Amino acid sequence: MLILRFLKRWLIPSSLMARLQVLVVVPILVIISLNAYIFFERHWYEVQLVLVRSVVRELAHVINYLAPPSMEWRELVGDSLDLDIAFYPGQTLHEPRRISNSTTDRLIAEQMQQWVGRDFDVDTQQPGKRVYFWVQLPDGVAAVELHRKRVESFTIRLMIGFVLFSAILFSVIAALFMRKQVQPLVALTRHIQQNRPLIPKGRGAGAVPTFGYTGASEVRELTRAFIEFQHRQLAALRERSEMLHGISHDLRTPLTRMKLQLAMLEQTPEVMAMNNDIDLMSRMLESYLEFVAQNSKEEPESMLVTKVLSALAERWQHCAERITLPDAAVLQNFAASEVKIFIRPQLLTRALDNLLENAIRYANHVWLEVYLQDQMVLLSFCDDGPGVPAGERQLALTPFHRLDSARRSETGGTGLGLALVKETMILHEGGIILDDAPQGGLRVVLSLPVVA
């Protein structure tokens, strides 16, 4: 089991593209290796042995069985056997040079010892593709020169080159083909990760998809399944929005009538309590309508970060003593760089105001910071309030989830504040993170992409 886990973790690639390449390349390598051992190792060896043995036996026949070579004899035998023969009378061989480890040299040495039986020397490393033999005779040294092709087959090398070239070529073709097959799946994944719809929002089931059906049949079926899923998802969201919108509007009339009736009564403690409950219900209805309005068709536009912060400071000027804005030097850097973000002004304004309203409601002071990181503008809201427990931070971003500290009737919380902010960030292709603030409260970080 440990070996399998090790192989799965370290040897098996994680991406689909790499696994497909392994499935193609590994069999090719195995087949080439088997061919190299079975064919090139054995067949090449047998071919080399036949060639070397033929040449050495010719040498042995010339040296052992014919009379001492004269000039006419050397020319006659050399022409008939394609050999250049020379004789050096009275000469002796020096110490033979060391035989290399090549297959050809080893075979020559073995066959010369078997068929010639005399002291010899051989050189196969000279330029010009020539091979030289020197054999010690009783009265001198016989030298024989011949072409290298007589003792070595060059077609084997061509065969090896052809096999390697074919393997590399087909591996590249297979890799390109697999990349073409995987590319639509990668594009679909990136399309979804970037929170871009496969079909236009707010359209019916017959809307033209914004993402085409490409790739293999399985990938096209997957894309079609995602589009159908998004149709069902958008239909469910549309039904939810219409239901909340209808309920909220229908409840406004009886609440208004009840409030007028209570205004005509004597303002006893009981009547005042009922008025407070009606005000709370009215605020909840306004929150529900605001949540439904997130699907509005407001067109996005690019805006300077400094302009967004200036508008925020102007709107909350009445609470300036409780809000610390970013340093002037930071704002000057953003103004000098003309950093812009692509936003829906009304939605973003509602989200920022929602954050500040909640922070001021539960904390004494709020610190706002802004900085640039990885082509994202980060807006940080820190407060010194009670904060949010780590285990409830993800739940706090879901609609209608109210924290313990927000369940008091005087706060009027509906559980939609952070959910509205999250939905706004998703529409802006950004994000939201909840963390502990250095001041002891909650830190909310909003990320918005910079306009390229």
The pLDDT of residue 89 is 81
Which residues are CB-neighbours of 265 under 8 A, at least 6 positions away?
Answer: 271
The pLDDT of residue 409 is 44
Start and end residues for every CATH 3.30.450 domain found in the chain: 16-156
For residues 303 and 341, the answer to whether their CB atoms sit within 8 Å is yes
How much is the average pLDDT of 93-118?
A: 77
Residue 46 in tokens: 């047998």
The β-bridge partners of 342 are 302
Of the given ranges (190-194, 356-360, 409-413), which has the lowest mean pLDDT? 409-413
pLDDT at 198 over 60: no
The pLDDT of residue 208 is 46
The pLDDT of residue 318 is 85
Start and end residues for every CATH 1.10.287.130 domain found in the chain: 207-295
Q: What digits encode the pLDDT tens for the residues 254-281?
A: 878 887 887 887 788 887 888 877 777 7
Q: What digits encode the pLDDT tens for the residues 291-334?
A: 665 555 567 788 888 888 888 888 888 888 888 888 877 777 88
| Closest to 219 (Cα-Cα) out of 189, 196, 193, 195 | 189
pLDDT at 241 over 80: no
Could you name the CATH architecture of 16-156?
2-Layer Sandwich (3.30)
Share of the chain above pLDDT 90, in %: 2
pLDDT at 95 over 80: no
The β-bridge partners of 383 are 366
* pLDDT band at residue 445 under the 50/70/90 scheme: very high
Vertex 245 angle, CA 347 and 252, to 5°? 110
Alpha-carbon distance of 194 to 207, in angstroms, equals: 21
Q: What digits encode the pLDDT tens for the residues 29-76?
A: 787 777 767 776 677 778 888 888 888 888 887 776 554 555 555 566
How much is the average pLDDT of 11-29?
A: 74
The pLDDT of residue 65 is 58
For every residue of 32-62, DSSP letters joined together read HHHHIIIIIIIIHHHHHHHHHHHHHHHHHHH
For every residue of 303-329, DSSP letters joined together read EEHHHHHHHHHHHTGGGGGGEEPPPHH
Q: What digits encode the pLDDT tens for the residues 111-136?
A: 888 888 788 888 887 777 788 888 88
**Highest mean pLDDT range out of 94-103, 281-290, 301-310?**
301-310
Q: What digits encode the pLDDT tens for the residues 154-177?
A: 676 677 777 778 878 887 888 888
Pick the CATH number of 299-449 from 3.40.50.300, 3.40.50.720, 3.30.565.10, 3.40.190.10: 3.30.565.10
Mean pLDDT of the chain: 76
Which residues are CB-neighbours of 1 under 8 A, at least 6 positions away?
Answer: none
The pLDDT of residue 206 is 45
| Closest to 312 (Cα-Cα) out of 344, 341, 353 | 353
* pLDDT band at residue 374 under the 50/70/90 scheme: confident
* pLDDT band at residue 201 under the 50/70/90 scheme: very low
pLDDT at 203 over 70: no
The pLDDT of residue 23 is 78
pLDDT at 197 over 60: no
- Segment (H or E) for 419: helix 417-427
pLDDT at 377 over 60: yes
pLDDT at 412 over 70: no
Of the given ranges (7-21, 93-107, 204-218), which has the lowest mean pLDDT? 204-218
Q: What digits encode the pLDDT tens for the residues 76-89?
A: 666 667 777 777 88
Calculate the CA dihedral of residues 187, 190, 194, 200 and round it to 10 degrees.
30
Pick the CATH number of 207-295 from 1.10.287.130, 1.20.1630.10, 3.30.1780.10, 3.20.20.100: 1.10.287.130
Start and end residues for every CATH 3.30.565.10 domain found in the chain: 299-449
- Segment (H or E) for 111: helix 103-115
Share of the chain above pLDDT 70, in %: 78
Between the two ends of the chain, the Cα-to-Cα distance in Å is 50
* pLDDT band at residue 406 under the 50/70/90 scheme: very low
| Closest to 259 (Cα-Cα) out of 241, 244, 277, 246 | 277
DSSP character at residue 450 = B
